């Protein structure tokens, strides 16, 4: 989570029809399956929200920083669902409810825009955090920004946040 200092933030409830919190992510949403984004939905978005941002990362990756699987931002505040199979494009045009939203870079070196599913090394299960932020502004950062640029842009603008965590193991 992003440190918000003295700012009080509300709690957003993030869900998926594909898996429950702290339970395994189905194979279709992983690199071992179709590698498509899972369906997500949320409720209890705070009043005054102008846009939403989502970061999905793996804190258990054998890297210095959590491995980033998805960065999406400037989702319209009225959006309460992301359907599965979101396109891997910098600017979203479909579904029409999210038109104009932007996607950023994930941690892969190629095909690094949009969602890339779990692909942990064999062994213990990894956690995948889908962290949603409600913001009091539309962010002024270009499409293709990375997680760090998004975090910097969100500082001082977070009204609420929530997390759904899935697991995956080979």
7 pLDDT exceeds 90? no
Q: pLDDT of 122-166, one tens digit each? A: 999 999 999 999 999 999 999 999 999 999 999 999 999 999 999
Domains in the chain (CATH in brackets) are 10-165 (3.90.280.10)
Rounded CA-CA distance 28/19 in Å is 12
Q: pLDDT of 25-37, one tens digit each? A: 999 999 999 999 9
When pLDDT is averaged across residues 112-123 and rounded to a whole number, the result is: 96
Rounded CA-CA distance 41/17 in Å is 8
Nearest to 57 by CA among 131, 132, 3: 131
2 pLDDT exceeds 70? no
Nearest to 50 by CA among 79, 85, 91: 79
56 pLDDT exceeds 70? yes
Note the pTM of the prediction, 2 decimals: 0.93
């Amino acid at each position: 989570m992003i440190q918000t200092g003295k700012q009080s933030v509300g709690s957003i409830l993030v869900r998926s029809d594909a898996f429950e919190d702290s339970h395994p992510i189905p194979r279709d949403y992983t690199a071992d399956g179709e590698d498509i984004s899972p369906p997500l939905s949320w409720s209890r978005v705070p009043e005054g929200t102008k846009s939403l941002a989502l970061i999905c990362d793996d804190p258990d990756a054998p890297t210095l920083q959590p491995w980033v699987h998805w960065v999406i931002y400037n989702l319209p505040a009225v959006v309460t669902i992301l359907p599965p199979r979101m396109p891997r494009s910098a600017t979203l045009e479909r579904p029409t409810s999210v038109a104009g939203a932007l996607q950023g870079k994930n941690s892969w070196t190629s095909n690094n825009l949009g969602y890339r599913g779990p692909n942990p090394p064999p062994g213990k299960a990894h956690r995948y955090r889908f962290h949603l932020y409600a913001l009091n502004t539309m962010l002024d950062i270009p499409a293709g920004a990375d997680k760090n640029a998004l975090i910097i842009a969100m500082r001082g603008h977070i009204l609420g946040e929530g997390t759904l965590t899935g697991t995956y193991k080979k």
